[in-house]
Amino acid sequence: MALILIKFGTNNPAERFKLANASSDDDVVLIQNGIYWALNDAKQYTAARVYAIKEDFLARGYDEPDSKVPLINYAQFVELIEKHPKTIS
């Protein structure tokens, strides 16, 4: 069980590695350009639960309904940090 941070889009090999090797009890947070993953159904690329930072998503020209994953704020991000002693980032 770990918190996984994704900051690059879908062409980045490290991010593809993290998502492909995530477990179903991991939580993934998409930050910065990582939000581009949120445009597709998370089940296609990872076993983990996926969230995206709302302000990073909206700043890139999308509307909330465009995200296929729940959008969270930084307070909710910190709750996920609190939840997970282990990180993959």
Partner 1 sequence: MKKLLFVAYQSPVGSIWVNEAFRTAFGMYGEDLEPAVLLLDEACVALSKKTKPESLGLLPLSICHRYIKNYGTPVFAVKEDLEQFKVKELDENFSAKVLTKQDLKDFIHQFDYVIFM
Partner 2 sequence: MMKITIQVMVPPYTYEDLDTAIKIAEAAIEKGHEVSLFLFADSVLCINKNVKPIRIDRNIPQKLKEMIAAGKLRVDICGICMDYRGVTGEMIVEGAKPSGLPELAQLIYSSDRFISLMA
In terms of DSSP bridges, do strands 3-6 and 87-88 run parallel, antiparallel, or are they unpaired? parallel
Kindly list the residues in this chain that would bind partner 1 in the complex (CB under 8 A). Answer: 2, 13-14, 17-18, 21-23, 85-89
72 with 52: CB under 8 angstroms?
yes
> How many residues of this chain bind partner 2 (CB under 8 A)?
18
Single residue of 21, 25, 41, 74 touching partner 2 by CB under 8 A: 74
Q: Are residues 28 and 55 in contact, defined by beta-carbon separation less than 8 angstroms? A: no
62: how many CB neighbours lie within 10 A of its CB? Answer: 17
Q: Which two tokens stand for residue 51?
A: 């969230």
Window 40 to 69, contacts with partner 2 (CB under 8 A): 56
40 binds, among partner 1, partner 2, none (CB under 5 to 8 A by kind): none
Among 14, 20, 40, 70, binds partner 2 (CB under 8 A): 14
